[in-house]
Every structure is written in structure tokens, then in C-alpha cells.
Structure 1
Amino acid sequence: MDAESIIAQLLTPEGRSDPYPLYARAHELGPVMPAGDGMVLVCGYEACKQALRHPGLGADINMVTWGASLDEHPSLAMLSRSLLVANPPHHGRLRSSMSQVFTARRVTALEPQIVRITDALLDTLAESGSSPVEFMDAFAFSLPAHVICELIGVPAEDRHRFRGYAGDLMATLELLADPSGLEAADRAAVEVDHYFTALVEARRGDPRDDLVSALVGVQEQEAQLDDEELVANLTLLLLAGFETTTNLLGNGLQQLFEHPDVMAGLRAGTIPMQGFVDEVLRYDSPVQLSNRIALADGVSIGGLPVPAGNHVVLLLGAANRDPSRYDGPGRFDPRRQDIQPLSFGGGAHYCLGAMLARLEASTAFGRLLSRFPALGPAPGDGPARRDRLTLRGHETLPVVLA
């Protein structure tokens, strides 16, 4: 099996459901390999780390648009204005504006609210008694949704509408997405654009202690963001805040069910919570891949030249299981040392919300395990995975609490 075949298999339902055997085959071929049609596949840990930080590689929106007209697809047009796919000089301008308000101090200050929201959701779960509960819907989505909405400033009465929008818009991040299948994403982009445009205008006249007001203030003082960029990046923060943490919570709980000794160790305090969260991020990353493009000639990754314009597919999920980096990479072991997953990317495009996701996960798992000592998988049908490759998570994960 060559690199082209691996990519083709990853795009099948079977490959999306369980990409890890394909990652193992990729490692047998080497850390970096040509994949035909101006494409390079990177699966090695050090090679991915190098590529994420390489100044000659930029974000690659072409991996999802493939020549589609941005005028015809509002979802792709919105994506094109976001920090996620921006390259110099625009990236520095956008990142500077976002970093001024999305600070470590602001995230740390959210901890009491995260605890309050977590406990309120656990109270609601407890009402089910011994009946099965759908964990993804009742908790894994609800917690990050409420947290990121509080941070941004989305009123509580509006938050319910964003789950559908998030699911639809995330289709734009899939590898080799078919633009003809973006109808739902386009409709969601129009609705979200209208919503945030109105919210921005409301905060201009009535500033509050939230991210929208702070970004409006930066915009007015420095003229770093135009209105379309402001809305696009608010959307990115909102959706990334939903999806990645939702997947982290679901993937982590599944590992606890499959490794009851780890669950017992977390409860007893013999396994550090941060080690557990890091190992979930490594072992079953909520973000499986990222895309780059060579901005000029002279780029080399892992010794392989990457000519200008070549597309680079970074298999982050494979890099996190690189046998040259981790002993027994297919073994879930939160006690292992020096866990440094690449799940949040790296370099200029390192995820702004990484600290928030870790804080939410640590809080959620600690309080969930303490509150429900009999927590376990529900009998009957098991969990169901979402049919996605880039963003790996569960559609359903039924549990019992007592």
C-alpha cells in the first residue's frame, strides 16, 4: 500500500471509522512520502512537528475548496476570512487581534464558571436515575457550548441553535471535501453570519464583559479587523470551542470504559488528571489532521523537498502514535512520561483554545467521576462514531450513572 492508497482508504467510511491501522501502514513507509498530484503525506511525529512550525509552509484552504467559487459557497467564504487558513501578512494581523482578548488570564478566570456549568449539567444527568443517558448530547456538547458562549457573549436563550450550525459548518474542514455537498454548511454560514453581525452591532452600543465587546474595542482602536473578518473569527472560536472539546470528552470517556483501571486510578488520585487528558489527546485525538501548502520553493520536510504549491497532509493522529516517538503507541497509558500530543497543532497556527479545552476536560472528568461512582456504558447498542476524518468523535455514547 502506497501513500496515495492510504489517503484513498482514509476517505472511505471504514477508514474514517478506524484510521489507526492505516496510520500504522503509513509509518512502515516512512515519516514523509510523496502522495501524487503535488501532494505530500506526513505521518512521523518529528516531521509533523517540523512542518507545523515551518515558516515556508502556510495554511491550505485549497485542500477543501479545490477550485470552488467562494462567491457560490458562503461557508467557504467565511472560512477563507478566518485565522485558521490565513497566511502572512494577514495571519499576523488577525492573530494579534484575537490574542489580545483571548488571553490565558481570561481563560483562567473562567474556571469558576466552568465548575458551575459542569455541576449544573451533572445535576440534570442525575435526574435520569438508573435510566440510560446519551452522554454526547446531554453533557459532552452542552458543557463546551455553554462555556464558549459565555466567553463570547452569546445569550443563554440563543445557544441551542448553534449545535446544528456547528455540525454543518465543520464539513468545510474535511480533507478533499466535495464542494457540491456543502449546501447545509452554506445555509448555516448565512445564519451564523446574520446572528454575529447583529450581536456585534448590539455590543457596539452596549459593551459588556465578553469577547465580542473586547474584539469590537480592539477593532475600533486599531482597525485590525474588518467586520467580515470579525464575524468569521467569532464563528471559528465558537465552532472550534464546541467541536474539539466535545470530541475530547467523548473520546476520553470511551477510554475510561475500555480501561477501568485508569478510571479507578483517577478516582484514587494515583493517575494525574492532566496525564489522562494528554493521553486522550495523543491516543484518540479529536483533531486527526491538518493541511499546509508550500509558499515558496526551498521547503524540505524530513529530508523530502516540497516544491512551491505542493499540498501537505499532516496526519496528526498518526504522528501521535509514531513508534519512534512513543513506546507502545497503540497502548493507552496515561502514566507514560513526556506526553506531548500534536493535536492542537503548532507554530503560528497553534490552537488559541488549547488551554480552555484542557481546563474544561480536567474539570469535567474530575467532577463526573466523583459524582457518579457507578458510571458505565449503557447496555444494548454501543457508541456510534461520527462519519468524519478530520474531527474524530462520537455521535452517540449512551451511559448509565447508577
Structure 2
Amino acid sequence: MSTSVMDPGTAMMTLMTPEGKRDPYPLYEALRAYGPLLRLGPDQVVVTGHAECFRALREPGLLSTDGPVQDRMMPGWREHSSWVWLTKNMLFSNSPDHERYRRFFSVAFTPRRIAELRPVVEKLITELVDRLAETGADGEPVDFMAEFAFQVPMAVVGHMLGIPKEDWPSFRGPVGAITTALEPIRDLAQLDQGDAGMDWMAEYFTDLAAKRRAEPADDMVSEMTRARDERGELSEEELIANFMLLLVAGTEAPMDLIANAVRLAVAHPEHADALREDPSLAPGYIEETLRFDPAAQALNRMAATDLEFFGVPLTAGTKVTLLIAAGNRDPRRFTDPGRFDPYRSGNHALTLSGGAHFCLGAGLARMQSEIALPAVLRRFPALALAGEPTFRDQLVQRGFDRLPVKCG
């Protein structure tokens, strides 16, 4: 794929192809050649620069894709349950709803609450590493995505929310289906898969909330349902919508982070060996994974009013596509950005968003990954690929579909 003289329109179209989704980074560089902030038309701007993305994530005049924004960007979305539910959660909302949702749920993600979870997370990961060893005994190839990368965050978020263990496997299909609704689409029928996943999950959490009202337990669904009933800060639909967000974001993002970190360890055995010897290196390794090859590649914003952004006038309604994975490789911000360097200092990746929308579960995602990665590498010193990884047909939430490995 030659990108040296590719025009911006062709680069953006190529990003939507399976080849572009597998390796978008050369295409980001083709776009960057035209500047960190590129106008593709009268109502669309694409951002590849780190400073520009950083500011856009904190710019109150650039709105997240809530209901009114989607009315302009995706007419007809209200006929699809995936986006009807998405626009009732904190990720796809703006002031004042965003603050209301975030304030309500943030009590469950304080540093103290996350620290208290650490022993539980360590125990769950130990059990899953043991199970991975059994599955991959005698060199039997295993799909790391299905057997470990998904299992870790599902176990953690399942424990937090109070989802019965026997139900955990049921969520992988719906979670993956829901993330497809976040992709750029040309035909609203492409939302059908996400609709089905969302409908299943909405029914599940509606039923679980009802069970916890009848028989409360020591879990987040019981706690948040009780708080909603006592204070009335959220509607029932908003409660269910945000439970679904916590489950989807709480599994998909850590799953891809763990998988990408392991894939990079296989590709860089010197860094893997260092982690085996010294697990305290894990935080730097995970931060570099978030920068170098993040799952979250892009975010959308829309100009609320006419404004000037880095010298570029934006009229109200302009769509601003933030290619945050490109910003993570901006040579103006990072030295040798195309090199994976877990010892990099001042690593300010854009992956977990920023400002008011900074990922509420960032601390939990980091903790899981920082525990899981050394545990896997130390248990399996001969860990290697057992075939070519395959990618999901997605760019916004990019990640492996299958990652075949031999545990050794």
C-alpha cells in the first residue's frame, strides 16, 4: 500500500477498507503530510496532530455525539435501538446530562475503590492464567482473545456489577456487536447487528436490576439501583444505558489493551524478558501500548457554534474527526514515534480521551493490564504466535478477532 503521494480523500476511503483497518498507521502519515488539521470539505475536518486532538477533547464548543448531534450526523438513527441506548449514556452525552451521569457513577470508580479491588483482580487473573495453561497444555494452540483477553475484564466487570459467573460467556457476542454501531456507516442497515446486541443486553440488565431490587447484593447494580430509586437523579432507561456502557467499555477496551500488549511482547522479546524479571516495569509498558497501538483509534465531535480552532474557522455543525491514534504518533510530540519504547518518558497518549470525557474506568483498565501482562509472561516464557492474527472489521474500536498463541 503506497501512501507517499496519496491524496486525503483516497487515504480516508482506504482507512475504511479491511486492509486499511488492519494497518491504518501509514494512512495516518499520508494524512499528516497535509498538516495536523485538514479540511476535507465544507463540513468535515480531520485532526491528526497531538496538540490539536488534546485541545479538541477539552473544547466545550466541540460536542460529543449525543441525540441532537446524531440528528445532524446520522438522520434515521432513532429507529435503531443501538444508538437510542448509546445516547443515554455518559460517553455520548453533553452538558448537563454528561455531568449528571458521571457524578452518579463516579463514586464506584474512586482511587480508593479501585485499590480495594486489586486483591480480587489478582485472584481472578491467577485463576485465568491457570486455565490458560490447561487449555494450552502440550503446545496446543489457543485463541488468546477468547481464552484470556476477554475473560479478564469480563470477570472483573462481572464481579463489580454482580453478574453471575455462569452468564459471563454470554456477553462476548453482544459486546462485539454493539461496538460495530460506532463505526462509520453508509447504510443504516449496518446498525442491525448492534441493535440486536443492545436489545439483548438491555433486557439482561433490566432483569438484573429488578432482581437486585427484590434481593439486594454487595455489587454495583444493587448500589446504583438503590441510589437511583432513592434520589431520582436518573431515569430507569438512563440507569440501564449506563450499566450497558460500563459492561461494554469495561470489557472491550481492556480486552484489546491486554491483547495488544501481549502481541507487542511477542514482537519485542527483550521487553518481555525485562517484564518477566521486573513486573514494576508494567505501567510504562502499558502506557506505551496505549500510545503505540491503541484500540480506540478515532472519536467524533461536532462544532456547536461557529468557532476558530487552531486558526481554522469551523461553522456550526462541522464534523470533526479526531484520529487520536495518529495524534499518538505525532513527531512534534514524540521522539521516534513509530518505535515501541516502554521506557519512554512523558508519555501523554490520547487513547483514554481527556477533559470532561476522560475515561472513568481508566484506573481499572490500567490495573488489570499491569497485573495480567507480567502474569502471562512469567507463566509462559516460551509464549509465541501460533498463526497470523486476524482483525475485526472495525477501525473506531480496532482490535484482534483472533490471536492464536502457543503457551509453550
Structure 1 length normalisation: TM-score? 0.95
Partner of 1:116: 123
- What do the CA deviations read for 1:273-310 (whole angstroms, capped 9, x no partner)? 11100000000011001111111222x32221222111
User: Deviation of residue 5 (structure 1)?
Assistant: 3.0
CA contact (8 A) 2:72 2:317 kept: no
Of 143, 148, 161, which aligns to 2:157? 148
Equivalent-residue separation in structure 1 for 2:112 and 2:279 (angstroms): 29
Please give the residue correspondences for 1:95-110 in structure 2 after superposition, counting only pairs within 5 Å.
95-110=102-117
Please give the residue correspondences for 1:50-199 in structure 2 after superposition, counting only pairs within 5 Å.
50-61=55-66, 62=69, 66-127=73-134, 128-129=136-137, 130-176=139-185, 178-199=187-208
Q: Structure 1 38/65 Cα, relative in aligned 2: closer, same or farther at 3 Å?
A: closer
Q: Please state if 1:357 is matched with 2:365.
A: yes
Equivalent-residue separation in structure 2 for 1:397 and 1:33 (angstroms): 35
Of 11, 14, 24, which aligns to 2:16? 11
List gaps (5 residues or longer) in structure 1: none
Equivalent-residue separation in structure 2 for 1:76 and 1:178 (angstroms): 14
Equivalent-residue separation in structure 1 for 2:397 and 2:128 (angstroms): 24
- What do the CA deviations read for 1:308-334 (whole angstroms, capped 9, x no partner)? 111110001000000111111111111
Please give the residue correspondences for 1:206-225 in structure 2 after superposition, counting only pairs within 5 Å.
206-225=215-234
AA paired with 1:367? A
Please give the residue correspondences for 1:293-332 in structure 2 after superposition, counting only pairs within 5 Å.
293-298=302-307, 300-332=308-340
Equivalent-residue separation in structure 1 for 2:323 and 2:70 (angstroms): 14
Of 381, 384, 394, which aligns to 1:388? 394
- What do the CA deviations read for 1:116-139 (whole angstroms, capped 9, x no partner)? 111111111111322111111100
User: Deviation of residue 2 (structure 1)?
Assistant: 4.0
CA contact (8 A) 1:35 1:41 kept: yes
CA contact (8 A) 1:104 1:355 kept: yes
Partner of 1:236: 245
CA contact (8 A) 1:83 1:94 kept: yes
CA contact (8 A) 2:296 2:325 kept: yes
Partner of 1:205: 214
User: Deviation of residue 65 (structure 1)?
Assistant: 8.4
Partner of 1:366: 374
Partner of 1:48: 53
List gaps (5 residues or longer) in structure 2: 1-5
Of 246, 250, 255, which aligns to 1:246? 255
Equivalent-residue separation in structure 2 for 1:242 and 1:166 (angstroms): 8
- What do the CA deviations read for 1:92-146 (whole angstroms, capped 9, x no partner)? 1111111123322222221111111111111111113221111111000111111
CA contact (8 A) 2:295 2:399 kept: yes
User: Deviation of residue 177 (structure 1)?
Assistant: 5.8
AA paired with 2:155? H
CA contact (8 A) 1:102 1:211 kept: no
User: Deviation of residue 257 (structure 1)?
Assistant: 1.1
Q: Please state if 1:36 is matched with 2:41.
A: yes
Q: Structure 1 266/12 Cα, relative in aligned 2: closer, same or farther at 3 Å?
A: same
User: Deviation of residue 252 (structure 1)?
Assistant: 1.0
Q: Structure 1 303/221 Cα, relative in aligned 2: closer, same or farther at 3 Å?
A: farther
Aligned length: 399
Structure 2 length normalisation: TM-score? 0.94
Partner of 1:269: 278
Equivalent-residue separation in structure 2 for 1:290 and 1:80 (angstroms): 15
User: Deviation of residue 67 (structure 1)?
Assistant: 3.3
Equivalent-residue separation in structure 1 for 2:310 and 2:290 (angstroms): 24
CA contact (8 A) 2:52 2:310 kept: yes
Equivalent-residue separation in structure 2 for 1:270 and 1:126 (angstroms): 20
SS at match of 1:83: coil
AA paired with 1:239? V
Equivalent-residue separation in structure 2 for 1:367 and 1:64 (angstroms): 46
Q: Structure 1 177/163 Cα, relative in aligned 2: closer, same or farther at 3 Å?
A: farther
AA paired with 2:132? L
SS at match of 2:369: helix
SS at match of 1:286: coil
Equivalent-residue separation in structure 2 for 1:147 and 1:173 (angstroms): 24
